[in-house]
Chain A
């Protein structure tokens, strides 16, 4: 009994405390300047518009916990696997310190937050990547957390949503990082074979190994406006093909034009769109 209470408390803590932490720890001043239109916005007002610039629609980067606030039915989200800890398998100098410092800064154990929650009344498993943590790069823990979230979704027979925000594979974990692309893929295949829905939401940035694995193979691929999405880096491509690339190259809109995403959806309409899509996949209809 006491133990039950204890676990319950622990779970509750995991929901609320990191959220508050994350908000307090992001070192933002009172005012935020939009990098696109240079408009000065009251930082506290920015969250009211889901961190979208009210003047030019620029989508600011979001922390994983900020996205949770926008996405789920009130108090329904419970995080998972916050206890997994990154190791330093290649013994890279100062890697552990960098991970620990980002953990402190973001209130996350790694570059993805996973869990179960309800959207529009329907239960879903989610993985939300956070580019404030080692540029959202995928190492062993990120791969493991996403895999466990997908497996949980398969076990419960519910959809899985992955919000990507990642520069790609985590260099400091070498080929182990590369293999996380395969690990998450085998889990997603099993989920798919059970007839379950996977929605991939690509946000700024979705590149490299994340783009070349789960992010691109949703039953439905959605992107946020102007999000950078691509396999190779712009500079590498320019050096290879020796030509200047168009301005909109590797943007969400560019991908839509080239048939790679189903829809580009404004962040303020994202939750409603996702709720509708999930509703459309409930077995037996309304």
Chain B
């Protein structure tokens, strides 16, 4: 069983108790099956109750879970004959963003996503999924390639944000993100972006100017991390739990603000508990999304994206 989270504590405790009783029965040849059965029912009720009443901060923890499936995990489940393509052709290959081509069911598609590591070694290689400019430029190169060959583009968003480093600034982090926003606006092929973990700020948006944006149930999408918001707004980063609530960063909030299209339900307790089942949920939503654009011409696709972003904002006049 993977690492448990603070809000899961009651579940873990109950599960331990059941395990103890089961061990005790087998070691001492007594029948406690009635008690164990009752406890198991209680466990299942407790799981349903806790997992269906998750607070924003709990979701942040699930979104950041080290075992949470990454872009590459979903690529392996969802696309056939996938081939990864590397490099921005100008500076280098940023491992914090992966991209390539493959078949989704019978249709060729381009897939691009932020890529975190699952352990320290891989995280170092992938810079914790925080891209440099060359990552965004690789993404744009692959998007333009997709456009040339009329392939839909699928983006997986999963980053704390673009990397705040010296070299990143020198090579134009701002321009790389900004360029993607503008160029994605003009793509003649449909773009579907799915937030699978953390969607952090401009670094996430640079893969997010899409016709459809979906979010996994426990993923987050925000202008700043809860820790960052707490330290800017209240000069106290220990208030991140409160900031997670105040900033309205969860999928239901974004749906309410009409920023995203669909909330993709997660398997009980979070995607990391059953990545294969989770991929199936994504597959359904992705298929439906792509079907929407089958009959739409190039101008229609661009207009559709224009209208989507044009209407985002809350103000009065």
Q: Residues of A at under 8 Å CB distance from B?
A: 81, 83-87, 89-90, 92, 140-141, 143-144, 147, 169, 171-183, 185-190, 192-193, 208-209, 211-217, 229-233, 236-237, 240-241, 243, 245, 249-250, 258-260
Question: Whose C-beta in chain A lies nearest to the C-beta of B224?
Answer: A171
B233 touches A171 (CB 8 A): yes
Binding site of A, secondary structure by majority: helix, strand, loop or mixed?
A: helix
Chain B residues with CB under 8 Å of A213's CB are 177-178, 181, 202
Contact code string B62-74 (vs A, CB < 8 Å = 1, else 0)? 0000000000000
Within 8 A of A (CB), among B203-236: 205, 208-209, 221-224, 229, 232-233
Distance in angstroms between the alpha carbons of A209 and B162 in the assembled complex: 11
Known: A87-B316, A171-B223, A176-B312. A182 touches B205 (CB 8 A): yes
A-B contact count (CB 8 A): 179
Chain A residues with CB under 8 Å of B259's CB are 175-176, 179
A178 touches B317 (CB 8 A): no
B202 touches A258 (CB 8 A): no
Q: Which of B174, B224, B246, B249 has the most CB of A within 10 A?
A: B174
* B123 within 8 A of partner (CB): no
A179 touches B174 (CB 8 A): no
B205 touches A178 (CB 8 A): yes
B182 touches A189 (CB 8 A): yes
B interface residues, tally (CB under 8 Å): 52
B317 touches A176 (CB 8 A): no
Q: Give the top 9 A-B pairs by smallest Cβ distance, nearest first.
A: A232-B164, A140-B313, A185-B181, A189-B185, A89-B314, A216-B178, A211-B174, A186-B185, A231-B173
Known: A171-B232, A182-B208, A250-B169. A192 touches B314 (CB 8 A): no
Q: A175-B221, A249-B166 are in contact. List 4 more A-B contacts (CB 8 A).
A: A81-B317, A182-B309, A208-B202, A258-B170
Distance in angstroms between the alpha carbons of A173 and B317 in the assembled complex: 17
Chain B residues with CB under 8 Å of A259's CB are 172
A-B contact pairs, 24 of them (CB 8 A): A87-B314, A89-B257, A141-B313, A144-B313, A169-B223, A171-B223, A172-B233, A174-B249, A176-B259, A178-B205, A181-B205, A182-B205, A182-B209, A183-B309, A185-B309, A186-B209, A188-B182, A213-B178, A213-B202, A217-B182, A231-B174, A232-B165, A232-B173, A249-B166
Q: Which of A188, A214, A217 has the most CB of B within 10 A?
A: A217
B169 touches A182 (CB 8 A): no
Within 8 A of A (CB), among B74-131: none
* B201 within 8 A of partner (CB): yes
Distance in angstroms between the alpha carbons of A212 and B186 in the assembled complex: 18
* B175 within 8 A of partner (CB): yes
A245 touches B315 (CB 8 A): no
B267 to chain A, nearest CB (A): 25
Distance in angstroms between the alpha carbons of A169 and B205 in the assembled complex: 13
Chain B residues with CB under 8 Å of A186's CB are 185, 209, 305-306, 309-310
Chain A residues with CB under 8 Å of B317's CB are 81, 83-85
Distance in angstroms between the alpha carbons of A177 and B312 in the assembled complex: 9
B20 to chain A, nearest CB (A): 45
Question: Whose C-beta in chain A lies nearest to the C-beta of B163?
Answer: A240
